[in-house]
Amino acid sequence: MAVLAALLSGPLEQGLAYGIMVLGVYLSFRILNFADLTVDGSFPLGGAVAATLVVAGVNPALATAAGFGAGLLAGAATAFLATKARIAPLLAGILTMTALYSINLRVMGRANIQLLRQTTLVSLVQDQALGGDYAVLLFLAVAAIALAAVLWWFLRTSLGSALRAVGDNEDMIRSLGVDTDLAKVLGLALSNGLVALSGALVAQYQGFADVGMGIGTIVAGLASVIVGEVVVGEATVGRALAGVLAGSVIYRLAVFAALRAGFAPTDLKLMTALLVILALATPRLKRVLRLAS
Partner 1 sequence: MLELINLTHTFERGTPVEKPALRGVSLRLGPGEFACLVGSNGAGKSTLLNAVAGTYVPDSGRVLIDGKDVTRLPEHRRARLVGRVFQNPLQGTAPNMTVAENLSLAADRGGRRGLGPLLGAQRWAWLRERVSVLGLGLEDRLGTRVGLLSGGQRQALTLLMATLARPQVLLLDEHTAALDPATAERVVELTTRLAEELGLTTLMVTHNLDQAISLGHRLLMMHDGQVVLDVKGQQKSSLTVGGLRSEFERVRGVAFSYDRAVLA
Name the site residues for partner 1 (rule: CB under 8 A). 154, 156-162, 164-165, 168-169, 171-180
Q: Which is nearer to partner 1, 114 or 169 (CB)?
A: 169
Q: Which is nearer to partner 1, 133 or 168 (CB)?
A: 168
- 270 burial (CB, 10 Å; 0-12 / 13-18 / 19+) is exposed
Provide the minimum distance between the beta carbon of 180 and partner 1 in the complex, in angstroms, as a whole number.
Answer: 7
Q: Which is nearer to partner 1, 103 or 183 (CB)?
A: 183
Provide the minimum distance between the beta carbon of 168 and partner 1 in the complex, in angstroms, as a whole number.
Answer: 4
* Element (DSSP H or E) covering residue 210: strand 208-210
Provide the minimum distance between the beta carbon of 39 and partner 1 in the complex, in angstroms, as a whole number.
Answer: 23
Q: Which is nearer to partner 1, 112 or 169 (CB)?
A: 169
Provide the minimum distance between the beta carbon of 256 and partner 1 in the complex, in angstroms, as a whole number.
Answer: 33
Question: What is the widest separation between alpha-carbon atoms in the chain?
Answer: 66
Q: How far apart are CA 191 and CA 76, in angstroms?
A: 10
How big is the CA angle at 268 (ends 195 and 191), to the nearest 5 degrees? Answer: 10
Contact between residue 49 and residue 172 where contact means Cβ atoms under 8 Å apart: no
Residue type, 7: L
